[in-house]
């Protein structure tokens, strides 16, 4: 299981509303947290920032449709002629009282919900049935999950029985002032050109749900800003970082290029 274990280094995060206080309060009171929002709007960065600020180890798992409960809990592996138990990222986070972040939890297989339920109510227990253990999560353990409600996939909705176990924060794209500051800081591009990219994003996002499945993410704006800051021609940068990643449709590409030319 390739969980990314972050070393506690506080990464830049610019708060959008009261999400930092809410995170701290949820953590202090043993409540699990669900972050809802489109891709690339800062959910992962927020968790990294808060974990580092709290001095807690972070185990991030990118969920996919093949991810099962045993990927999270652990499994017996053959080492030489010995069978040894290896904890999965969730078990490690519970044992050490860290944070486990399940990114795009809705993608994971159904048996994952069975594992999460006793961990996300007042029992706060992880049942490791293969080893016969029942671990009580220490106070500092926190479960954070994210999902993107924008994906129009009826089969992949978070069940009410699962989502009603989490305190939830709705993430949207940051307001233009905040987003400009984020783009400028992350890409090293001046304020004026960062603000123009954010203006363009505002127009592109109005197209989402019509011609585009989703609006342009803050992440893509940072890519575009990075290319521009490094000296790439603006049209080329916008093409590579905004137009091409957003669509394969020639008509929509052209519409985006026209929009970019009129705004930027
Ligand atoms: P998500 O997890 O929502 O898909 P990320 O957290 O990976 O998105 O965000 C993408 C990028 O956007 C981050 O790497 C970071 O550079 C930037 N970002 C977005 N919002 C913020 C913010 N509020 N403060 C700092 N960086 C941000």
Model confidence, pTM = 0.91
Which of 14, 45, 214 gets mutated to test ligand 1 (max ligand atoms within 8 A of its CB)? 45
| DSSP of the chain | --PEEEP---------SSHHHHHHHHHHTT--EEEE--TTSSHHHHHHHHHHHHT--EEEEE--TT--HHHHHEEEEEETTEEEEEE-HHHHHHHHT-EEEEETGGGS-THHHHHHHHHSSTT-EEEETTTTEEEEPPTT-EEEEEE-TTS--TTS---HHHHTTSEEEE--PPPHHHHHHHHHHHHT--HHHHHHHHHHHHHHHHTBTTTBSSPPPHHHHHHHHHHHHTT--HHHHHIIIIIHHH---HHHHHHHHHHHHHH-
Query: What was the pLDDT predicted at 157?
Result: 77
Distance CA 62, CA 2 (A): 9
For residue 35, give the ligand 1 atom closest to its CA: 3
How many angstroms does the Cα of residue 183 sit away from the middle of ligand 1? Answer: 10
Which residue among 218, 224, 229 is best mutated to probe the pocket of ligand 1, counting the most ligand atoms within 8 A of its Cβ? Answer: 218
- Ligand 1 atom closest to Cα of residue 47: 6
Give residue 196's pLDDT: 97
pLDDT digits (tens, 9 = 90+) for 180-189: 999 999 999 9
226 lines ligand 1 (CB under 6 A): no
- Is-contact 243 257, C-beta < 8 A? yes
43 lines ligand 1 (CB under 6 A): yes
Cβ–ligand 1 contact at 41 (below 6 Å): yes
For residue 99, how far is its CA from the centre of ligand 1 (angstroms)?
A: 18
Q: How far is the CA of 126 from the centre of ligand 1 (A)?
A: 30
CB of 104 within 6 A of ligand 1: the answer is no
The answer to whether 199 and 263 have CB atoms below 8 angstroms apart is: yes
Residues of the chain with pLDDT below 50 are 2
Nearest-CA neighbor of 197 among 169, 170, 172, 226? 226
Question: What distance lies between CA 49 and its chain's CA centroid?
Answer: 12
Q: CB within 8 A of 197, min separation 6: which ones?
A: 183, 189, 221, 224, 225, 228, 264
ipTM passes above 0.95:
yes
């Amino acid at each position: 299981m390739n969980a990314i274990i972050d070393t506690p280094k506080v990464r830049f995060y610019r708060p959008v509303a009261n999400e930092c206080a809410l995170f701290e309060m949820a953590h202090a009171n043993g409540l699990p947290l669900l972050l809802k929002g489109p891709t690339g709007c800062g959910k992962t960065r927020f968790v990294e920032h808060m974990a580092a600020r709290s001095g807690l180890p972070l185990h991030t798992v990118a969920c996919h449709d093949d991810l099962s409960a045993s990927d999270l809990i652990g499994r017996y592996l053959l080492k030489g002629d010995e069978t040894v138990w290896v904890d999965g990222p969730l078990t490690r986070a519970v044992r050490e009282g860290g944070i486990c972040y399940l990114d795009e939890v809705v993608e994971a297989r159904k048996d994952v919900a069975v594992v999460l339920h006793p961990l996300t109510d007042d029992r706060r227990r992880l049942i490791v049935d293969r080893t016969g253990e029942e671990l009580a999560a220490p106070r500092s353990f926190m479960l954070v999950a994210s999902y993107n409600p924008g994906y129009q996939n009826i089969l992949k909705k978070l069940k009410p029985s699962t989502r009603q176990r989490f305190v939830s924060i709705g993430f949207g794209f940051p307001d233009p002032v905040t987003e400009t500051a984020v783009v400028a800081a992350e890409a090293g591009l001046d304020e004026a050109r960062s603000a123009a990219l954010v203006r363009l994003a505002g127009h592109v996002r109005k197209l989402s749900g019509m011609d585009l499945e989703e609006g342009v993410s803050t992440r893509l704006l940072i890519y575009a800003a990075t290319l521009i800051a490094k000296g790439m021609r603006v049209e080329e940068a916008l093409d590579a970082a905004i137009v091409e990643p957003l669509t394969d449709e020639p008509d929509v590409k052209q519409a985006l290029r026209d929009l970019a030319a009129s705004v930027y």
